[in-house]
Amino acid sequence: MNILKKKPVIFFLLIITLLIFLRIDYRFKYTIECCSDEYDYFMHASTIVNDFDFDYSNQDLRDFRFTNNNKIAPVGFVGTGILFSPFLYLGNLFNQIFNESIAEDVFNYQIFFYSMSSVIYFFLTYLFIYKTMKLIGYKLNKYKLLLIFSASGLPYYAFERFGMTHIAEVFTISLLIYLLTSFYLDDTDSKITASLISPILLLSFLTRMSNFFIFLIPLIVKKYLQNSKKVERSLAKNYYFLSSVLISAIGYFWILYSIYGKFILNPQKIYNDSRTSSDLFGSFIDLPMTIIDIAASSFNVLFTFEFGIFWMSPILFFGTIYCLLKLKNYKSYENWLLFLCFAQNFVIIYLWQSAASSYGFRYLFSLVPIALFVLFLQKDMNEYVLKYLTIFSIFSLIGIMFFETTVLTQLSVVDEYNSFGRYIRYVEPEYVKGVVLALGDFNSYLIIFSTSFLGALFFKTLLIVFGRTSLESILSRLGLPVENNDFQNYLENLQSIGFEKFIIVLLIFSVFSYFITYKAKD
């Protein structure tokens, strides 16, 4: 086992693991075509890149959209589009240089670079979380940190469903927490750090304008750091921070007005949702029962076999229990602020009564950086808590890897009762059980390999070495069903995709793996 401790071996294994998690499902396409959310974020990026404006009248918007007089816009929030737009620009540029078309070339450079944006931001998120940990002085093995962070459920949205907003949310919040921690604890010049806090906070809010808890993060970070460290600096007295607040606010409201033709603070207005608090929570008389219902739903989120966070996102489970236990000191307002952060997102799940039709309880993922932050503040972590985080993080990663490999690990395409008792599509109330059973299903491993970039790289290499005809002949002699239409389409796609894209992926993964293995210090 000593060989597994050698850095070249670890470096190689990290690359292999990343190639397994990186999936082709949403990438081997001609353009962004899936789902309203992804399409909205793509439209935001498109208008920025193609027209350098926020005028969507010349964009191919889908029916579900915001309207205000003659103004139209996607209902998805703009922040993700802003963050992903540089990658889309690069993709369009490469398409022009290499004469690739979104109408004719599968996995063209537009799709390639746009899809890699979530991967890059995932890596950068880990970087800022790691740097925050080092500033606080918490000692956690860098590999264990990567494990616990990745076991949140986020890799699915980085390496497979890349067009969603969750990676952008977590990246901006992680960067915000790092900037705040750096401002208070780093002895170096704080001018740039102080200037960046406000624009990053507002950009984070623009990624999901229902995440009101973001505005509590500066207070939470300062108060919790004060409780454990000597903090002398003050943002409220910092000229660079105050100046950036004014400039950022102007930019923020300009973006909103440019998109919607009016200033919008309530995200319900974007979705044309006219519900009031009484519609959501009932009258004052009903409040006690509503509280009981929220508590029951929250318990379900914690322990259900349908992506319950105890099983499938241990760092979120830790953060939730931590904020509840801290309320024992009910006189500490920072503990109540932390509770409000978690409560807001749990209430969203209560309102929807579902895991939100994709992998995991994704509306909780924006809390991952906060959960890690409070973990880093622990001076004497209970060894059993660390063992729990480690063991169940491994199980969580397995759960992500085996998603959609068997009947019990894929979301239903017909109406079914979910763990909240709702009769809807895209649920799997026995997911945890399904993962355990999938471990003994050989076909699951074949699906994982064939839909991964590792498998795609393997078959692409074989196509280059042997050619398609010879390769099909070899595989046929091995008894494999090469005549299968899906496999034929798979080979055809691989033939058309340039090998240089696989090389770029390998280079990106190599840089990240090199940082983890050789540069990051425990």
CA distances for 278 relative to 268, 274, 284, angstroms? 15, 11, 8
Q: What is the DSSP string of 324-391?
A: HHHTTSTT-HHHHHHHHHHHHHHHHHHHHTSS-SSSS-GGGGGGHHHHHHHHHT-SS--HHHHHHHHH
Q: What is the pTM of this model?
A: 0.95
What's the pLDDT score for residue 213?
Answer: 96
Reading the block at residue 200, the tokens are: 């990053």
- Residue 72 domain boundaries: 36-401
- The Cα 257–Cα 78 span in angstroms is 12
pLDDT at position 112 is 97
Instruction: Give the residue from 158, 251, 159 showing the smallest Cα distance to 205.
Output: 251
pLDDT value of residue 83: 98
Kindly report the backbone phi and psi dihedral angles of residue 73, in degrees, each rounded to the nearest multiple of 5, phi listed first.
Answer: -160, 155
pLDDT at 201: 98
pLDDT at 36: 80
Rounded Cα gap, residues 243 and 254, in angstroms: 17
| Residue 279 placed within a domain | yes
Residue 239 maps to a domain:
yes
User: Is 437 inside any structural domain?
Assistant: no
pLDDT tens digits for 471-480? 999 999 988 8
Dihedral sign for Cα atoms in the order 464, 470, 476, 478? negative
How close are the terminal C-alpha atoms of the chain, in Å? 20
Determine the Cα–Cα distance for residues 451 and 23; give it in Å rounded to an integer.
6
Note whether residue 352 is domain-resident.
yes
Could you tell me if 79 and 164 are in contact, meaning their C-beta atoms sit under 8 angstroms apart? no
Closest-CA residue to 296 (of 346, 338, 356) = 346
How would you write 215-242 as a 3-class SS string? HHHHHHHHHHHHHHCCCCCCHHHCHHHH
Answer whether residue 333 is part of any domain: yes
Taking the alpha carbons of 167, 172, 178, 181 in that order, is the dihedral positive or negative?
negative
For tokens 């992998």, what's the residue? 359
Q: How far apart are CA 132 and CA 370, in angstroms?
A: 11
Q: Which of 239, 242, 201 is nearest to 221 (CA)?
A: 201
Q: Are residues 418 and 355 in contact, defined by beta-carbon separation less than 8 angstroms?
A: yes
Backbone angles phi, psi at 423, to 5 degrees: -100, 90
3-state SS class at 282: coil
Residue 261 falls inside a structural domain = yes
Rounded CA-CA distance 363/366 in Å is 7
Per-residue CA distances from 243 to 175, 176, 217, 405 (Å) = 20, 17, 20, 52
pLDDT of residue 281: 57
pLDDT for 276: 55
User: Does residue 454 belong to any structural domain of this protein?
Assistant: no
Q: How many domains does the chain have?
A: 1
For residue 291, what pLDDT is reported? 80
Among residues 113, 92, 90, 89, which one has the least CA distance to residue 101? Answer: 92
Residues in the chain, pLDDT under 70 = 1-4, 63-64, 273-287
pLDDT at res. 267: 82
Between CA 449 and CA 461, with CA 455 as vertex, the angle to 5 degrees is 160
Nearest CA-CA partner of 448 in 397, 512, 489, 500: 397
Copy the structure tokens of residue 452.
């991964």
Q: How far is CA 449 from the centre of its chain?
A: 23
Q: How many CB atoms within 10 Å of residue 383?
A: 8
- Quick check: is 175 in a domain? yes
